[in-house]
């Protein structure tokens, strides 16, 4: 038996390890099991090269929880170590790596995955660690003991088979890790797809024999294997069927709705990247659950916060990315300037655009049927990612009020003759609430205009993006932003049937009744409504965009115009000929309230008074 002291370059780092990343103490299990996987993988490599000629046997890694003894044991059957290797690895290499890691990052809270602490992460939860190990080369087993300080003991160990056993004597302030459910949860989180089988106790499996009255229930205790060593993303896409991808999605996200489609990533040059990205059903909601893409490094779970690794819009996807080329023991801010990460980001964006583009070209009907579910994703990508926009502009769709879909170029061609204004600009009319805007839509349709449906939260930004990127020849205008005759300005002149003096008289009556709101008389078609309320496009759109960004818009009242149709019979004939002042006032009030009702602006007591007044008119 020998005693020794680990060479501590600075201060005693064991108390620092104990406190370091306190909120992420759970990573100790991932670090230790990852080491066990490495040792097992090395044995496989040595065996394949003929260096190790013995039988590998069962290579399962076993996790043993002993609540009474307050220990957690990690057992592997990998390459193991002899005494000299223990001294070199545990007292020098592993310690130096941990010391360097602590020194570099103890003030940094945003390290990707917190990788790098390695073996010494054991001391985050244990006040004593015992390592018993036997090398694949043969010879005596060695035992290393350390009680959370620079002093250690090394002696001959009792172990017959190759591999390493690490026993953690869990400290009193880490008792949570002596709970079976807690350990199972950590194994499910960090080790679900490790390439070596991981056993954690046993579980009961129920099978049945016979049929009818002879049917018997048979319960069997079997190993509780917590991981899938060969996940779908590590397999060749050619070997997988559609159901395989759906089954893997269900493995990642149990009880979730089926994904719409997926992309299998597989590249090994100029960087190594595998993975599967799924398109979930988004519909019109922009408030999707992010952090659904899981980052792995050689099948070891790292994080589900990947916003520095994939573009923002791609965080709406689900699935897995696995790359050993993404630096992990670095701060998040570093990733943004890392060349490999930038290449990976570009590659993923390209593959997503190619998938959508190919679907659009080869299966347009199928693609169109999915548009309502993927439209938010595509639009967000176009707004936020220049390179994606350049490709997506060809397969992004616009949906009109009749449920028909067009690319931007197709739609411009469709409306160019009928919806070009006197300045040569194509005016795309749209509604975000077709039921509320029904009368405006009908009026526009009667003039031969087409109306688009833009009813997602991101559409205001999308329209502005298209206006900026699509040139100066196109603009979007909501169908209620002006009267039917003026929503697309033409050179046509419509004469009023009323004289200027009569129009001034009507304007005065309306101005008096509607509390100072600006009133404008326009000579519209007699078939149009007598009074319109229009909401100017620019002010309304700006207010909606600010509200989406979380700004309080309660202090900014709605901006709208009151337009009186001077050619409508109710105005030009009935109102103009009324003698009674009270009758005129009530008549104007009723017409104004009808216009407000049409815009959903009549509420509360005003709505109640309007209903009472309407009933009295019928009596």
| 155-208 confidence digits (pLDDT tens) | 999 999 999 999 999 999 899 999 999 999 999 999 999 999 999 999 988 888
pLDDT classification of 544: cutoffs 50, 70, 90 = low
What DSSP assignment string belongs to 444-459? HHHTT--EEE--STTH
pLDDT in tens, 429-486: 999 999 989 988 999 999 999 999 998 888 988 998 998 886 678 899 999 888 888 8
User: What is the second-level CATH architecture of the domain 396-492?
Assistant: 3-Layer(aba) Sandwich (3.40)
Q: What are the structural domain ranges in the chain? A: 2-201, 232-375, 396-492, 498-531+558-619
Q: Do domains 2-201 and 232-375 have the same CATH topology?
A: no
Whether the CA torsion 74, 77, 78, 81 is positive or negative: it is positive
CATH class of segment(s) 2-201? alpha beta
CATH fold for domain 232-375: Ribosomal Protein S5; domain 2 (3.30.230)
Q: Could you tell me what percent of the chain has a pLDDT over 70?
A: 85
Sheet strands (E) in 70-184: 71-76, 126-134, 141-146, 151-157, 163-170
| Cα separation, 272 vs 322, whole angstroms | 8
The domain made up of 498-531+558-619 is a member of CATH 3.20.20.20: no
Residue 181, burial from CB neighbour count under 10 angstroms (0-12, 13-18, 19+): exposed
pLDDT at 112: 46
| Cα separation, 217 vs 206, whole angstroms | 7
- Residue 110 clears pLDDT 50, i.e. is over it: no
- 484 is written with which tokens? 């039917």
Q: Look up residue 91 and give its DSSP letter.
A: I
| Cα separation, 106 vs 18, whole angstroms | 12
Q: What is the longest distance spanned by two Cα atoms in the chain?
A: 117
Q: Three-state secondary structure along 278-331?
A: EECCCCCCCCCCCCCEEEEECCEEEECCCCCCCCHHHHHCEEEEECCCCCCCCE
Sheet strands (E) in 13-125: 61-66, 71-76
CA distances from 199 to 72, 192, 396 (A): 13, 11, 48
* Neighbouring C-beta atoms of residue 161, cutoff 10 Å: 11
pLDDT in tens, 9-26: 544 667 777 666 545 788
* pTM for the model: 0.77
CA distances from 557 to 478, 518, 553 (A): 19, 14, 8
């Amino acid at each position: 038996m020998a005693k020794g002291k680990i060479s501590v370059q600075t201060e005693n780092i064991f108390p620092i390890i104990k406190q370091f990343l306190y909120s992420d103490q759970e990573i100790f299990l991932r670090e230790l099991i990852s080491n066990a996987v490495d040792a097992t993988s090395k044995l496989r490599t040595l065996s394949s090269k003929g260096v190790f000629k013995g039988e590998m046997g069962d290579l399962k890694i076993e996790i043993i929880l002993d609540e009474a003894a307050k220990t957690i044991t990690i057992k592997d059957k990998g390459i193991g170590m002899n005494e000299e290797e223990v001294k070199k690895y545990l007292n020098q290499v592993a310690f130096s790596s941990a010391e360097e890691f602590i020194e570099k990052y103890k003030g940094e809270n945003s390290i990707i995955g917190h990788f790098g602490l390695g073996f010494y992460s054991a001391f985050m939860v244990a006040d004593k660690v015992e390592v018993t190990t036997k090398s694949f080369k043969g010879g005596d087993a060695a035992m290393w003991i350390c009680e959370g300080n620079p002093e250690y003991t090394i002696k001959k160990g009792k172990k017959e088979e190759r591999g390493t056993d690490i026993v953690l004597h869990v400290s009193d302030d880490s008792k949570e890790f002596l709970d079976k459910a807690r350990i199972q949860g950590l194994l499910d989180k960090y080790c679900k797809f490790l390439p070596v089988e991981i056993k954690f106790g046993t579980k009961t499996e129920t099978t049945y024999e016979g049929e009818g009255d002879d049917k018997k229930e048979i319960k069997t205790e079997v190993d509780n294997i917590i991981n899938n060593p060969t996940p779908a993303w590590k397999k060749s896409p050619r070997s997988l069927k559609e159901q395989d991808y759906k089954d893997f999605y269900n493995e990642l996200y149990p009880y979730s709705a089926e994904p719409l489609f997926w992309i299998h990533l597989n590249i090994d040059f100029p960087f190594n990247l595998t993975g599967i990205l799924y398109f979930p059903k988004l519909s019109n909601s922009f408030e999707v659950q992010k952090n659904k893409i899981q980052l792995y490094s050689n099948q070891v779970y790292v994080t589900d916060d990947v916003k520095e690794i994939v573009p923002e819009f791609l965080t709406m996807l689900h699935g897995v990315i696995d790359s050993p080329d993404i630096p992990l023991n670095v701060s998040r801010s570093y990733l943004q300037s890392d060349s490999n990460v930038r290449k990976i980001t570009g590659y993923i964006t390209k593959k997503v655009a190619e998938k959508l583009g190919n679907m659009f070209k080869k299966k347009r009907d199928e693609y169109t049927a999915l548009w309502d579910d993927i439209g938010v994703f595509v639009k967000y990508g176009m707004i936020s990612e220049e390179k994606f926009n350049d490709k997506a502009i060809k397969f992004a769709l616009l949906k009109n009020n009749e449920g028909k879909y067009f690319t931007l170029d197709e739609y411009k061609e469709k409306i160019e003759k009928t919806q070009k204004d006197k300045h040569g600009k194509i005016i795309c009319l749209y509604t975000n609430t077709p039921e509320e805007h029904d009368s405006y839509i009908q009026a526009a349709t009667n003039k031969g205009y087409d109306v688009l449906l833009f009813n997602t939260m991101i559409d205001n930004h999308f329209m502005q993006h298209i206006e900026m990127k699509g040139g100066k020849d196109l603009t979007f205008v909501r169908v209620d932003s002006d009267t039917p005759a003026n929503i697309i300005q033409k050179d046509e002149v419509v004469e009023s049937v009323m004289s200027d003096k009569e129009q001034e008289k009507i304007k005065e009556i309306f101005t008096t009744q509607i509390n100072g709101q600006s009133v404008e008389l326009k000579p519209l078609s007699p078939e149009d409504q007598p009074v319109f309320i229009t909401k100017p496009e620019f002010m309304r759109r700006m207010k909606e965009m600010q509200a989406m960004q979380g700004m309080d818009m309660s202090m900014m009242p709605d901006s709208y115009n009151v337009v009186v149709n001077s050619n409508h019979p109710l105005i030009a004939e009935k109102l103009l000929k009324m003698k009674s002042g009270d009758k005129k006032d009530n008549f104007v009030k009723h017409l104004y309230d009808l216009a407000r009702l049409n815009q959903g602006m009549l509420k509360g007591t005003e709505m109640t008074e309007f209903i009472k007044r309407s009933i009295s008119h019928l009596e």
